[in-house]
Structure 1
Amino acid sequence: MMEIKTVSIIGLGALGILVGHHLSKKMPRENLRIIADQKRVVRYKSEDVFCNGERCDFNYITPEERCEPADLLIFTVKNEGLTEAIDAVKNHVGENTIILSALNGITSEAIIGETYGMDKLLYCVAQGMDAVKVGNELTYENMGMLCFGERSSELNNTEKVRRVVNFFEHTEFPYEVVPDMYRRLWSKFMLNVGVNQTVAVFGSNYEEIQREGQAREMMIAAMREVMVLSQKEEIDLNEEDILYWLNVLNTLSPEGKPSMAQDLEAKRLSEVELFSGTVLRLGEKHRIPTPVNRELYNRIKSIESQYDTNYAGQPRLT
């Protein structure tokens, strides 16, 4: 079985920094590559990137640079940067490359697979991280983990899965192999629809939804709308899945906040189309009302409409 020795990461947002910083302490520097365009590389090198107060000593590589394909390629970009990222990683994908996509939502694997083939992909979600990124500085209390696996349980003990397990064991990276990973992808989507959007519209942090009150009730109601739709899509999420995520949320730092809340605070366009936008479209498809997600969608769009459009419209790859 081939050993994973080289890793490439694209997307230096909160998750990219967290994963990259950990791996940079466990691998030879030249074997871990952070893919970024020249403009970003100049900025990262001039300003530095910090994780829990430590300077990150990253090995940057531009998309144009020729290199050996990566054994493991990890996408940690925002959804709106996915198309650009898929093109940017082409020099890093070879015959034996394994691809993990830690993006939010339920579609990124299929989109990446259209270019590089689904045979290279394992389904993946990041969970349990309570990181906050302000400028070039990331702080977190809980690192969380990457959950990954094949789409369905009958495929799960494959060589791809075993190669990633061995690598994460070797680098002491927290992980979980999930037997029915497509279902977990939907389950994490349900969480994001609830927690990301609710904390964002309340302008708060995890503490707001960890305690009883209006925000927590709204979050759970938004998640239940996804649960109902999942049953129409033959995924069959249930109340036990909601309870699972409520228990995970209780472990997070109360001062932490999800990415959408951080986006709205920084006056960046959010992933609202990926969350409630998807819920509304599925609701129309199945003729099921989704009033909570409609309210969240409208409120977030209203907040974004107050931005300076010249600033907010800038694309992001991080």
Structure 2
Amino acid sequence: MLIRAYAKVNLFLKILNKRQDGFHNIESLMSPVNLFDLLKVQKSRQFRITCNDKTIPVDENNIISKTFALVQKKYNLKHLVDVCLYKNIPSGAGLGGGSSNAAAFLQILNEIFSLKMSFDEKVDIMSKVGSDTVFFLYNQPAFVRGRGEIVDKTAVLPSFYVLLVKPPVTISTSSVYSDKNLTLTPYNTVSNMHPVLNYTDVLDSVDNGLQNVVFKKYPETYLIKEKMLTLNADAALLSGSGATVFGIYSSKKYLNKAYDYFKIFNKSYFVYKTENINNVI
């Protein structure tokens, strides 16, 4: 069975406070974008993960392995699976590639083993696997809270173009959250937001409480953001904890111009032009 695992961007990300478990409470508006990994899964006599990206671990440290272990224990699976993972989403990018892989994998397990999981059962498993994995079960724009595992309500967004640019740096999420310069926003935003947003609403809401930390540690990300704005992006910001910076465009002409610039500017950059998607079928 073959399934797509879509990337996401954080249109806003506010860091509220640190929790007793060491995580931070956040509020975010997340949207899928049309960039995806592919997973092919079939029953097998041994558990195996293969991946086209050799930097991705294929042992018990892979989030797919962790997901399978939880499902196997809970549902007493009699077979193992062979997983072929084809990565298009860069790792360590703030685009949710690993979390999306886990959610897509869970959906496949539910099908090939006929587990008939309820949605709440899927949410329970995903919340044990990672912080933002639950979002990818919805696969549509949504406001999220908690450490990212609570989907507050789904949202409807206008269509717009997205330019993704990731420099060749790896950013530790934990180091960003533990930085002394982290900006906290101790008030509730999501509860006051209407679930249907127009383009002006989207542009007015863009923010990332992590980006000042990342911009200081990795100034190249800040320069990418500023260049996007000079290349007529309607907004530009860091996605998640980075290292991807994304620009929002209403004009395909300006999108293409910026894409061409970054493709030539640095051959080591990951550069991808796409669009947001409101509902993944």
Same fold? TM cut 0.5? no
Q: TM-score, normalised by structure 2?
A: 0.31
Higher helix content, 1 or 2: 1
Higher strand content, 1 or 2: 2
- Larger RCO, structure (CA 8 Å, separation 6 or more): 2
